[in-house]
Amino acid sequence: MSRPVISGPAMYTLLIREFTRLRPHECKRCKIPLPFWGPAAGVSNTVYWYMPIVAPCVHGCHAIIAELWARTTTEYEVSAPSTALPRMREVTSRG
């Protein structure tokens, strides 16, 4: 059985929506970090989506975020970015 495919931006939107629904009302600090596409450690020519490490929260947000990440990446096949992000141009001073 194949998993539905979603894009990286759709995954991020889904994570934000679900975290907004589940976040404890007492916490006003925590947010979903932006996932990033990068090489797999120790595996050549393999890349994955990663979630930056979330700081521990006394309200348990870090556990909620970890659970949402695990559920989302298990239920969906998250596609690779469609294009490479543009690189910032080097700015030179004309002073």
pLDDT in tens, 52-92: 999 999 999 999 999 999 999 999 999 988 755 555 555 55
pTM recorded for the entire structure:
0.79
Return the residue matching tokens 């096949």.
77
pLDDT in tens, 40-63: 777 777 778 999 999 999 999 999
Beta bridge partners of 31: none
Least confident piece of the model among 2-11, 30-39, 82-91: 82-91
Long-range CB pairs of 27-30 (<8 Å, 24+ gap) are 27/57, 27/59, 27/61, 29/57, 29/61, 30/54, 30/57, 30/59, 30/61, 30/62, 30/65
